[in-house]
Amino acid sequence: MPTYTLKINKELVTVTADSDTPILWILRDELNLVGTKFGCGIAQCGACTIHIDGKAMRSCQLQVSAIDKEEITTIEGLSKDGIHPLQDAWKAVDVPQCGYCQAGQIMTAASFLKENPTPSTQEIREAMHGNLCRCASYNRIEKAIAVAVEKMS
């Protein structure tokens, strides 16, 4: 099996894995970074969202061999102490119900807000459209993103 050196949450790690192993399983099974969740397995629900060089990507379909020098950021690496403005807003608005999709929701929102720091409500809805929440907390997710926008400006 090949060996890969990856930059994850600002640290270099070396893993041995089949070239077609999804990054999701490297994170969860090899590195015990379990904040990234397995949802659908076909890159449609967003539970597995991570950042690759700051861009939101679905890790369940992203093979380890596709990563070269890109930097991977997981929910654990978004903020050292879990105090990113989105994480604070999530708590203030009391977004989570079951919590399963929340890391993917936050990672998608963080990437989006880097590109659009002052979005409209419609732009927030469009950006978050591909992340599914089985508990249907969409209104609270939208509200928390708006709260984070205020804190970040």
Q: What is the DSSP string of 116-152?
A: -SS--HHHHHHHHTT---TT--HHHHHHHHHHHHHHH
d(CA 153, CA 139): 21
Question: Which helix (H) or strand (E) is 115 found in, with range?
Answer: helix 102-115
Read off the pLDDT band of 75 (50, 70, 90): very high
d(CA 31, CA 21): 14
pLDDT for res 80: 84
pLDDT for res 14: 97
Each residue of 18-62: pLDDT tens digit? 999 999 999 999 999 999 999 999 999 999 999 999 999 999 999
Distances (CA, A) of 37 to 34, 45, 46, 119: 7, 10, 9, 27
DSSP output for 6-18: EEETTEEEEEE--
109-113 average pLDDT score: 98
> How many residues are listed for the chain in this entry?
153
Say whether pLDDT at 65 is over 90.
Answer: yes
Q: What is the pTM of this model?
A: 0.96
